[in-house]
């Protein structure tokens, strides 16, 4: 008997397979990150459907659970289509898809990551998206088990004037406690701890340097993987 499931999924990546087919990877609502073969996925008819950033209703089938399986999909929503004239937001969408595709284990349900990801995408067309993207990365780290403790100073316990993060422990450090070691600490932008409406490009860059350090230290370096190129390009764009 064939193994099958139906689920909603965000397309993370698409790569050609042979002359006519494609292999796509999805972040699904109930099944986690899943790959499958789409017959005729390289055809002109399916090109618009099979785009990273599209949400589809997918059916996955295989003879055995450990097989790659095949996917049939119908479009539910296209986030990329609404951003075609905005290169920066498209870069954020590409970074998001590439980061999830590289960081998440296969076939393990990730309901919290799926939830915060769709929530971010629903507001990507609004102002303040860059700061929200940085917060999204922080939440993904947390849900992967590598959350940062930004609640109080690691050395003194104070909750005031927290401006650094220890690159080893991931805990906040106050300006006073961190002063002698400032060159070895990571900057902690205030908007990662509290709601701030106007976030500077410099603070967003500092936030992405912070989250990027922990993605590399805990997710990519242990597996000898590089930071996804799409994420590197996004940081370069935001730095100008």
Q: Tell me the pLDDT tens digit for each residue of 188-197.
A: 999 999 989 8
Q: Which fold has domain 3-78?
A: OB fold (Dihydrolipoamide Acetyltransferase, E2P) (2.40.50)
Question: What is the predicted pLDDT for the residue at 1?
Answer: 65
Q: Which of 69-73, 137-141, 195-199 has the lowest mean pLDDT?
A: 195-199
Does residue 76 carry a pLDDT above 80? yes
- Residues forming CATH 2.40.50.140 domain(s) in the chain: 3-78
Contact at 8 Å (CB) between 56 and 76? yes
Contact at 8 Å (CB) between 165 and 153? no
Question: What is the predicted pLDDT for the residue at 84?
Answer: 85
**In which element (H, E) is residue 237 found?**
helix 229-239
Does residue 162 carry a pLDDT above 80? yes
**In which element (H, E) is residue 205 found?**
helix 201-215
**How would residue 146 be classed by pLDDT, with cut points 50, 70 and 90?**
very high
C-alpha to C-alpha distance for 95 and 151, rounded to whole angstroms: 28
Contact at 8 Å (CB) between 74 and 33? no
C-alpha to C-alpha distance for 104 and 33, rounded to whole angstroms: 7
- The residue count for the chain: 240
In the sheet that holds 162-165, the strands lie side by side as 172-174, 162-165, 186-187
Question: What is the predicted pLDDT for the residue at 180?
Answer: 96
C-alpha to C-alpha distance for 209 and 189, rounded to whole angstroms: 11
């Amino acid at each position: 008997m064939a193994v099958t499931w139906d689920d909603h999924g965000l397309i993370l990546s698409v790569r050609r397979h042979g002359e006519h087919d494609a292999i796509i990877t999805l972040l699904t609502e109930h099944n986690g990150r899943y790959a499958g073969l789409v017959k005729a996925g390289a055809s002109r008819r399916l090109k618009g459907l099979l785009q990273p950033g599209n949400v589809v209703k997918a059916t996955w089938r295989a003879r055995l659970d450990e097989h790659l399986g095949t996917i049939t999909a119908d479009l539910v929503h296209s986030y990329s289509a609404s951003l075609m004239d905005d290169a920066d937001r498209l870069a954020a969408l590409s970074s998001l898809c590439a980061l999830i595709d590289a960081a998440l284990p296969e076939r393990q349900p990730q309901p919290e990551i799926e939830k915060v990801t769709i929530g971010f995408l629903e507001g990507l067309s609004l102002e303040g998206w860059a700061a929200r993207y940085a917060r999204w990365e922080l939440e993904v780290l947390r849900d992967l088990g590598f959350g940062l403790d930004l609640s109080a100073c690691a050395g003194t316990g104070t909750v005031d004037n927290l401006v650094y993060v220890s690159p080893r422990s991931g805990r906040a450090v106050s300006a006073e406690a961190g002063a002698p070691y400032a060159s070895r600490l990571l900057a902690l932008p205030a908007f990662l701890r509290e709601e701030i409406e106007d976030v500077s490009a410099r603070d967003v860059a500092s936030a992405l340097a912070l989250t990027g350090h922990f993605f590399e230290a805990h997710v990519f370096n242990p597996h000898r993987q590089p930071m996804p190129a799409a994420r590197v390009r996004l940081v370069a764009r935001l730095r100008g």
